[in-house]
Amino acid sequence: MLAALGLFALPAGAQPDYPARPVKLVVSLPPGSGADSTARFIAQKLAAKLGQPFVVENRPGGNGFIGARAVADAAPDGYTLFVGSNSTMVTNAVLFTNPPYDPVNGFAPVERLARFAMVVVVPANSPYKALGGLIGALRTAPGKLNYAAGSPTYQIYTELLNERFHVRANPIAYKGTAPAMTDVAAGHVDYAIGEISAVLPLIRAGRVRPLAVTAPQRLKDLPQVPTVAESGAPGFDVAAWTGVFAPSKVPGQIVNVLSAAVREAMQQPDSVKFITGLGGEVYLGGPQHFRQFQLAEIERTRDIVKRAAIQIE
């Protein structure tokens, strides 16, 4: 039936037996992370669609270098794939002059998976009830308040927020979103931007207060929370995203087979429900559009880093 519809018809010259054995999906974050949960979900879908196991392998550490390099250096046969994110495929391309892998030329984009809006939060007992209050305090005392940065990507996005409102604050770096949000909840830092799936449990538990969301529209999980754009920064739109990549020299026919399978799987109602349950949205586009998107994100990030004078290593 699927073949008749053309959903999985192989392009001319494609290997008809792909995949003929299990496929590895490498994730550069530990089990339990949003990227890991998404990878395990799509692995099950791809196994059902393509008839071979898709096995998730977690290789965390080193700013994502370990997992990304393992895939970039893997045989280009379609049996080792990478579930990358803006941290590994955009931020590392900008903040490191010589990363141990090439985030652009070392990979072939397969398909985006999902994007997750972020939320500006403060401690639950903070005096700031709205983003305008926080911005006012930052303007009154330039450089006196601090924010938690769970990763370099979060620092970049917070600096973009600060730039749009012409304010300054001190970044406090953390090794992950979870410890950053823990310190926000404890009142050790004044504010932070966190990905929706990481902050929503803390919001619901009354441990942090949401001031604004970074998406273009309000979120169904936080309908009373305005967007940053509504709060005085028109057009503000940043999000965390995940997508599937292959080593750069994987045959285009295999990329096409994988891309079609991912697209079909992610458009199914249970897939949409799964991603929205994490606070995100399915975010597709195809290999060529994915590459254009990645390059545009790199340029935007490079501009932010330059204007904010963030250190490049």
Higher pLDDT, 299 or 309: 299
Same topology, domains 2-8+20-115+239-308 and 117-213? Answer is yes
Determine the Cα–Cα distance for residues 63 and 155; give it in Å rounded to an integer.
14
Residue 8 pLDDT? 43
The first and second tokens of residue 272, run together, are: 């949409």
Angle in degrees, CA 270, 278, 255, rounded to 5:
65
CATH 3.40.190.10 fits 117-213, yes or no: yes
Residue 4 pLDDT? 38
* CA nearest neighbour of 121 among 151, 154, 72, 82: 154
Query: May I ask the CATH class of domain 2-8+20-115+239-308?
Result: alpha beta
Determine the Cα–Cα distance for residues 272 and 277; give it in Å rounded to an integer.
8
Domain-wise residue ranges, the chain: 2-8+20-115+239-308, 117-213
Residue 16 pLDDT? 56
Residue 253 to residues 15, 18, 76, 78: CA-CA distances in angstroms? Answer: 7, 10, 12, 10
Determine the Cα–Cα distance for residues 254 and 15; give it in Å rounded to an integer.
7
Residue 18 to residues 14, 15, 77, 175, 254: CA-CA distances in angstroms? Answer: 8, 6, 9, 39, 7
* CA nearest neighbour of 301 among 163, 178, 191: 163
Residue 2 confidence (pLDDT) above 70: no
Determine the Cα–Cα distance for residues 193 and 266; give it in Å rounded to an integer.
27
Residue 90 pLDDT? 96
pLDDT per residue over 215-271, tens digit each? 999 998 999 999 999 999 999 999 999 999 999 999 999 999 999 999 999 999 999
Average pLDDT over residues 175-202: 92
Residue 36 pLDDT? 86
Please report the sign of the dihedral spanned by the C-alpha atoms of residue 6, residue 7, residue 9, residue 14: positive
pTM: 0.87
pLDDT per residue over 156-179, tens digit each? 999 999 999 999 999 999 888 889
Average pLDDT over residues 33-51: 92
Residues 6+ apart with CB under 8 A from 26: 56, 57, 59, 67, 70, 71, 80, 81, 82, 83
Q: What is the CA radius of gyration of the chain?
A: 20
Please report the sign of the dihedral spanned by the C-alpha atoms of residue 85, residue 286, residue 21, residue 246: negative
Residue 176 pLDDT? 82
